[in-house]
A and B are shown apart, each in its own frame.
Chain A
Amino acid sequence: MQNPELSPLHEVNMLALSNKWAKTMVSQPETGMGYQIASVFLIDGRRFDHVTIVGGYITKIGSSTDIPFDEAEIEKIVVDHGR
């Protein structure tokens, strides 16, 4: 999914969530204006904490911009504000 507001350079390091995740995300509270900090649970049992999600994009895990999974691997996303 292309976002015209993002340069191709930035697109490389972000994982765009498809619209099927929109309801999941907007039904959970924000951590700050326009972003959420969440835990991402994968189908294979792996879990990633401190995941930053901005406007439908997974942008960081902790301070790392390496997102080592694809959308198809995600089982659920739980906003926990990094707690």
Chain B
Amino acid sequence: MTPDQPGQAGSGNAGNLTTASSQVDLDQLSAQLTVAYGAGNQGAISQILAQIENLAGAASGGAPPATKAGTALSEIRLTQEGESFLRYESGNPAFSRVTPAGGLQPGTFAAPASEGVQSQSLLNHLYNLPNPEIARGTYFKVNAPAGTPVIGPRPVVGGSGSEVVFPFGVGPGSAEPGIITPP
């Protein structure tokens, strides 16, 4: 998997969708989704996402996917045309989740752009960030192509903002150059 091609999700947030017993199925579906997503096959993408949601339902004993962040299952969907997001980061580029080609790594969080660019002083309150003393000095506007798998927006646990996560990442050319976050 190359960094700029959305691929198989890791065991983390995508793991919200699974139990340990369903991990193999999710892995297989994720691999299929990677191929379908790379080929731009919307029909196959929808079909695979439906299977993932069914898997999530089975893992929860048939309960509907939750809409709240945290410990419960989450609903995966496809982004719509024109949806954009904001990604705040601290300044060490080596650990950036924005790839050199302007994609996002699988399992990356962002905020809906509809919340507007926030100042550093408000970020912790909104997004419940650990170590607020570490400045999130750069933000990126991410224009996810329509059809990108995403979970959310959902409320941030412990914060007043909303967040999304891209379980399979976002393709290259989606993130605009970084901009200094207002203090």
Task: Please count how many residues in chain B sit with their CB below 8 Å of the partner chain's CB atoms.
Answer: 39
B140-183 CB mask vs A (1 if < 8 Å, else 0) is 00000000000000001000000101010000000000000000
- At the interface, yes or no: A15 with Cβ under 8 Å from chain B? no
A32 touches B128 (CB 8 A): yes
A-B contact count (CB 8 A): 107
Q: Which residue of B lies closest to A6 (CB)?
A: B134
CB of B73 to closest CB in A, whole Å: 14
What chain A residues lie within 8 Å of B130 (beta carbons)?
Answer: 32, 35, 52, 54, 59-60
**Complex Cα gap A10–B133 (Å):** 8
Partner of A55, one of B89, B107, B111, B163: B89
What chain B residues lie within 8 Å of A52 (beta carbons)?
Answer: 130-131
What chain B residues lie within 8 Å of A17 (beta carbons)?
Answer: 95
Query: If A5-B91, A33-B87 touch, does A80 touch B110 (CB 8 Å cutoff)?
Result: no
Q: Which residue of A lies closest to B99 (CB)?
A: A26
Query: If A33-B127, A34-B89, A35-B130 touch, does A56 touch B11 (CB 8 Å cutoff)?
Result: no
B163 touches A54 (CB 8 A): no
Task: Please count how many residues in chain A sit with their CB below 8 Å of the partner chain's CB atoms.
Answer: 30
What chain B residues lie within 8 Å of A54 (beta carbons)?
Answer: 90, 129-131, 134
**Complex Cα gap A34–B159 (Å):** 14
Partner of A34, one of B10, B15, B136: B136
Residues 86-144 of B at the A interface (beta carbon under 8 Å): 87-92, 94-97, 105-111, 127-131, 133-137
Kindly list 18 other residue pairs between chains A and B, CB separation below 8 angstroms, not including A7-B133, A56-B90: A3-B90, A19-B94, A26-B3, A29-B14, A29-B165, A29-B167, A30-B165, A32-B156, A33-B129, A52-B131, A54-B131, A55-B95, A56-B92, A57-B131, A59-B131, A60-B131, A79-B10, A81-B15
Residues of B near any A CB (own CB < 8 A): 3, 9-15, 87-92, 94-97, 105-111, 127-131, 133-137, 156, 163, 165, 167
